Amino acid sequence: MVNASASQHSPQADGAWSPLKIRMFRSIWLAILASNIGTWVNDVAAAWVMAERTGSALMVALVQSATTVPIVLLALAAGTLADIVDRRKYLLFTQGWMLLVAAVTAVLTAMDLLTPQLLVLLTFCMGCGAAMAMPAQAAIVSELVPQPMLASAVALNSIGINIARSIGPAIGGVIVAQLGAVWAFGFNAITFAAMLFVVWGWKRDPKASSLPPEGFGAGLKAGLRYASRAGRLQAVLIKSAGFFFFAAAMNAMLPVVVRGQMEGGAGQYGVLLGCIGIGAVGGALLLPKLRAKLDRDLLVLLATLSLAASLAGLALTRSWYVLPLVMLVNGFAWITVLSSLQIAAQTAVPAWVRARALALYIMVFSAGMAAGGLSWGALAQRTSPELALLVAAAGAVIGGLLVWRVRIAGAEDLNLSPAGHWPAPELSVPVSNDRGPVLVTIEYRIDAADRAAFQVQMRTLGAIRRRDGAVVWGVVEDVATPGIHLEYFVAASWLEHLRQHERITADDKAIQEALRTLHRGERAPLVRHFVGGHDPLPAAAPHHHSDI
């Protein structure tokens, strides 16, 4: 396995294609590309079979919804599992599940046993598998490439998605028309088998930990707690909510405009979809240069304004010569925002919680696209597609300007690698992991002149303590002896406190070192541990260490 931490690369490591030089990333990228193409082929075949057997637009829409609803429902649970279990084994399970579902669908179709109800059920099962796999697939990118290549790797993943989006439906249409739906479902099964084979060959080297893995409930709670305290991740979620709801208008309105207002056919619709994909691929190739010259948040704002222009262009233009240019702009804007937000989400959190953070991002993305598509479709039904597109364009401009000050820039400069500088607590006797609660106190001696600076650093440290598991945190001052400050925090159990040791990052360490420089005294700040519960502890002097 080529590991990010172990690899050494040239200064050009952040080139657009450089991650493909890494064998394991290249193999998984190609496997995911094939799998995404297979998914598009499956979607085309499922929609065609449903339309052929029922003739109901509602049933066709139900098949499409069955693939997206599980993402909103299951993404956070999937992210939690991807963080607390071995990601390689987890991906093997999800790919095996989708292979089984695709194979069953093909067999039932071949035997003419695929009823509309079964098709919806199997499509939902496929959507559940995809929802469970997505956070893990996104999280492993940072394991496969070194940090300088991460932005390019994320952009390449986006390129793969748009390549599949561009050619998948066309391949699906050809297979269904020439060979039949059973071959389309079988093709999808083969792509999952290929993905399963590649993941099987991935020799992952997971980070060793002496602590037992988190339980699902505790892991879910820890992920939500971290997200509520991680400012950069919150910025990504806010910008995502402000963009994808309005961006969904293009997906919802393009087929309506092509078929209705312009009286076009599937061929013209496919060409315009292909132009979106080409714009996205071209944008991904330009992104390294754009990121080098422009502030990340300015880049997202400019791309959002470009997307608004493409929505307005679709509303106002009825020329088959102009619309491809409009779609190119839309694809460029889409990939720029999507890639920028994905990179920020990847780099805004440490490895132990990365899949959960990406799951939250995927949830916001999927919910925004689903809610946006329904909203703009309903508005178009009541008024007109043109008005819906213009309102969405105006909303994108307003939303982009409102979230302009919410900063994602700088996330890639964070050093979230484990610091590992807290020594293990010294104990007279072993303490069981489930004992608790645990009260930790740290005594500082601060000069009056440094009091304001101490309080500033303490507020930052308090957010870190809570983010990493403290259920209570505070600072008090000795009124009898001014200058003596006592920081205290409470963890739910001894195991949760030990997890705090593992979660401290290099950036957190810098905050603690700043506090150490403000401390006055011959010795380091005095640390005490008080543990609740019933394990027998002998009466002895407490042992101290400096895990501040």
First-to-last C-alpha distance (Å) of the chain: 36
| pLDDT values of the chain reduced to their tens digit, one per residue, 548 residues | 334 433 334 334 456 688 888 899 999 999 999 999 998 888 878 877 887 777 665 676 677 677 778 888 888 899 999 888 888 999 999 999 999 999 999 999 999 898 888 998 999 999 899 999 988 888 888 888 887 888 788 778 877 877 787 677 778 878 887 888 899 899 999 999 999 999 999 887 766 666 777 888 888 888 888 888 888 899 999 999 889 999 988 877 887 788 777 777 666 776 787 788 788 878 878 888 888 888 889 999 999 999 999 999 999 988 888 999 999 999 899 889 988 898 888 888 888 888 888 889 988 888 888 788 778 888 888 888 899 999 999 999 999 999 988 888 876 777 777 777 677 777 777 888 888 899 999 999 999 999 999 999 999 999 999 988 899 999 999 989 888 999 999 999 999 998 888 888 888 888 888 998 899 977 888 888 899 877 654 544 444 444 55
Do the beta carbons of residue 352 and residue 159 sit within 8 Å?
no
Single-letter code of the amino acid located at 344: A
Q: How far is CA 136 from CA 66, 182, 198, 230, in A?
A: 21, 29, 15, 20
Q: What does the alpha-carbon distance between residue 500 and residue 471 come to, in Å, rounded to a whole number?
A: 12
Neighbours of 142 (CB within 10 A): 19
Kindly state the helix (H) or strand (E) to which residue 531 belongs, with its residue range: strand 526-531
Report pLDDT for 212: 79
Q: What does the alpha-carbon distance between residue 365 and residue 290 come to, in Å, rounded to a whole number?
A: 23
List the one residue out of 47, 66, 44, 60 whose CA is nearest residue 273: 44
Report pLDDT for 362: 87
List the one residue out of 375, 136, 146, 411 whose CA is nearest residue 245: 375
Q: What does the alpha-carbon distance between residue 223 and residue 490 come to, in Å, rounded to a whole number?
A: 18
Do the beta carbons of residue 249 and residue 392 sit within 8 Å?
yes
pTM score above 0.75: yes
Report pLDDT for 311: 95
Q: Which two tokens stand for residue 16?
A: 């657009």
The DSSP symbol for 98 reads: H
List the one residue out of 28, 244, 23, 251 whose CA is nearest residue 157: 28
Report pLDDT for 142: 81
List the one residue out of 140, 129, 137, 142 whose CA is nearest residue 161: 137
Residues in contact with 132: Cβ distance below 8 Å, sequence separation at least 6, in sequence order = 74, 77, 78, 81, 94, 97
Do the beta carbons of residue 260 and residue 266 sit within 8 Å?
no
Report pLDDT for 186: 93
Report pLDDT for 2: 38
Do the beta carbons of residue 437 and residue 490 sit within 8 Å?
yes
For residue 519, report the phi and psi dihedrals to the nearest 5 degrees.
-75, 135
Cis peptide upstream of residue 437 (ω within 30 degrees of 0):
yes
Q: What does the alpha-carbon distance between residue 287 and residue 275 come to, in Å, rounded to a whole number?
A: 18
Q: What does the alpha-carbon distance between residue 177 and residue 154 come to, in Å, rounded to a whole number?
A: 35
CA 142 to chain centre: 12
